[in-house]
Amino acid sequence: MILFLFLSAATYAQNPPKPYGALPSKRQLSWHDTEVYGLIHFTPTTFENKEWGFGDADPKTFNPTDFNADQIIQAAKAGGLKGIILVAKHHDGFALWPTKTTRYNISQSPFRGGKGNLVKEVEQAVRKNGLKFGVYCSPWDRNNALYGTDKYLAIYQAQLKELYSNFGALFMSWHDGANGGDGYYGGAREKRSIDNTTYYDWNNTWAITRKMQPMANIFSDIGLDIRWVGNEDGHAAETSWATFTPMAPDGKSVAVPGQANYPQSPEGIRNGKFWMPAECDVPLRKGWFFHANEKPKSPETLFDLYLKSVGRGAGLDLGLAPDTRGQLHADDVASLKTFGDMVKHTFANNLAKNAKLKLSNSRGGKYNAAALLDNNKATYWATTDQVHEATIELNLPASKTFDIISLQEYIQLGQRIEAYTVEIFENGAWKKVYDGTSIGAKRLIQLDAAVTTNKVKINITKSPVCITLSEIGLYKKTA
């Protein structure tokens, strides 16, 4: 019997848990590490003081008085953003690089004397500052005379190929569901409708992305790698699953962009067919383009959105809107800086780091308790195969005051945990302070009020398979 127990323990110490459900790819894991990034809108629409350009603006309209990519990217970096997606072409069809596919591009503007390439300038500033770079090229083109005909797709695909070829490795290729409607269309000034299930030939179009930019996550309202959260408010649902099965409105066929099952997008689908985490996109100001009468969101609001996006296993995509100078307004810079400092200072010190851990079960070996407090997402604690419920008790060297609890699953093996509670030891008894469901890549629990205790207990009460958890943290929000 003793020998059997010894051999069993040795087996568990050597063998990792089996994966569960849909799993993230290498590019998706890299996206999860990015957490917060920005989406820059800056086209003739900025100078028209509109949100959507019609496609008829004179290229000479695009004439920033003092474009400064470094100023924009440095402000983003100070805000804690780790990536930038540039809208290289919005629905108005104006391309911010000297493309061969359309004359409606930056070479026809006064920018840099007609010799400019704004995509290149932003890309260089992004890389110089240590951020990741991505692009968005709108499939809808309200300027192009061929939009709506069978000749336009080759133009759009050629634009993607230029962007994929000339601006280095991309972390995202961003797409949205806007498809057809009224536009300039080379002077026709009419409404054009397309069948969004077939017109863009997404299977073959996205095959170009996979071939030319294999580490670029494809974002659209249905995935393929990253799904839209279903709102532009910057938050996921309280229960948030990274798995999803995009379905068309008929509930039977797989959706295409513009046809997703939006009611399920904020929460995701438990045991969905694909690993397809949510992006929470939200403009820093009210609109995606700069309008002088608007103000940026406060740092407090941004921090709350961070907790409700990144803190729910999703990503936060902040819309950045340069003004007509070609820079971020001083108010935007200040708000980003304070927000970035709040996140940095709040999570700089894990108050649980010196805790002694008491676990109801452990797989042993490298999957033991030490992995939970080593500040390394690549290591994790796991239970034995037959154990689907467990308790983790943290005994702190002294009482600590905190209001945020951080939990992270080892998502390389799937999203496993379905229910848990958190308790603190107060006045000689255990008191429940949180009742949770999903964890995933990261769960940031903001308590209703700060608590002071020297003991914390996490009770994992439901998992379909053995449990994995990579990190535990206790933090005090810092202004």
Q: Which residues pair with 445 in a beta bridge?
A: 405
Q: Does residue 7 or residue 255 have the better pLDDT? A: 255
Domain stops at, among 285, 312, 346: 346
Residues 285 and 384 in one domain: no
Residues 442 and 340 in one domain: no
Residue 259 is predicted with a pLDDT of 66
Residue 474 is predicted with a pLDDT of 98
Q: What number is the average pLDDT over the span 235-263?
A: 81
Residue with tokens 């929000």: 477
Domain stops at, among 346, 367, 395: 346
Q: What is the pLDDT of residues 358-396, one digit of tens each?
A: 999 999 999 999 999 999 999 999 999 999 999 999 999
pLDDT band at 416 (very low <50, low <70, confident <90, very high): very high
- Helix (H), strand (E) at residue 431: strand 429-436
pLDDT band at 350 (very low <50, low <70, confident <90, very high): very high
Got the DSSP string for 69-114? HHHHHHHHHHTT--EEEEEEE-TT--BSS--SS-SSBGGGSSGGGG
**Runs of H (alpha helix) within 315-380:** 330-346
Q: What number is the average pLDDT over the span 9-31?
A: 86
User: What distance in Å separates the CA atoms of residue 373 and residue 356, rounded to the nearest whole number?
Assistant: 10
Number of domains within the chain: 2
Judged against a pLDDT cut of 50, whether residue 287 lies above it is answered with yes
3-state secondary structure of 377: coil
Q: What is the pLDDT of residues 323-333, one digit of tens each?
A: 999 999 999 99
- Residue 174 structure tokens: 């961003």
Residues 401 and 336 in one domain: no
Judged against a pLDDT cut of 60, whether residue 205 lies above it is answered with yes
Q: What number is the average pLDDT over the span 239-266?
A: 79
12 within a domain of the structure (yes/no): no
14 within a domain of the structure (yes/no): no
Judged against a pLDDT cut of 50, whether residue 7 lies above it is answered with no
419 within a domain of the structure (yes/no): yes
Residues 304 and 410 in one domain: no
167 within a domain of the structure (yes/no): yes
Q: Give backbone dihedrals phi and psi of 377, rounded to 5 degrees, phi first.
A: -70, -15
pLDDT band at 267 (very low <50, low <70, confident <90, very high): very high
Compute the C-alpha angle 194/195/197, nearest 5°.
140
341 within a domain of the structure (yes/no): yes
CA 62 to chain centroid: 30
Residues 289 and 413 in one domain: no
Judged against a pLDDT cut of 50, whether residue 438 lies above it is answered with yes
Q: What number is the average pLDDT over the span 223-239?
A: 94
- Residue 21 structure tokens: 């459900």
Judged against a pLDDT cut of 80, whether residue 11 lies above it is answered with no
User: What distance in Å separates the CA atoms of residue 317 and residue 38, rounded to the nearest whole number?
Assistant: 5
Residues 103 and 193 in one domain: yes
The rounded percent of the chain whose pLDDT value lies above 70 is 94
Domain stops at, among 346, 362, 382: 346
Q: What number is the average pLDDT over the span 226-242?
A: 96
Residues 300 and 444 in one domain: no
Q: What CATH number should be reported for the domain holding residue 227? A: 3.20.20.80
1 within a domain of the structure (yes/no): no
Residues 363 and 331 in one domain: no
User: What distance in Å separates the CA atoms of residue 363 and residue 433, rounded to the nearest whole number?
Assistant: 28
Name the residue range of residue 258's domain.
26-346
pLDDT band at 292 (very low <50, low <70, confident <90, very high): very high
pLDDT band at 460 (very low <50, low <70, confident <90, very high): very high
19 within a domain of the structure (yes/no): no
Residue 2 is predicted with a pLDDT of 43
pTM of this structure: 0.95
8 within a domain of the structure (yes/no): no
User: What distance in Å separates the CA atoms of residue 33 and residue 51, rounded to the nearest whole number?
Assistant: 31
- Measured between alpha carbons, how far apart are the two ends of the chain, in Å? 57
Residues 329 and 452 in one domain: no
- What is the total residue count of the chain? 479
Q: What is the pLDDT of residues 161-176, one digit of tens each?
A: 999 999 999 999 998 8
Q: What mean pLDDT is reported for the chain?
A: 94
Residues 328 and 359 in one domain: no
User: What distance in Å separates the CA atoms of residue 340 and residue 332, rounded to the nearest whole number?
Assistant: 12
3-state secondary structure of 376: coil
What is the DSSP code (8-state) at residue 247?
Answer: B
Q: What CATH number should be reported for the domain holding residue 357? A: 2.60.120.260
Judged against a pLDDT cut of 80, whether residue 256 lies above it is answered with no
Residues 45 and 189 in one domain: yes
Residues 369 and 324 in one domain: no
Q: What is the pLDDT of residues 94-120, one digit of tens each?
A: 999 999 999 999 999 999 999 999 999
Judged against a pLDDT cut of 70, whether residue 142 lies above it is answered with yes
Judged against a pLDDT cut of 50, whether residue 4 lies above it is answered with no
C-alpha distances (whole Å) from 466 to each of 305, 322, 334, 386 are 32, 49, 46, 6
Residue pair 405/392 in contact (Cβ under 8 Å)? The answer is no
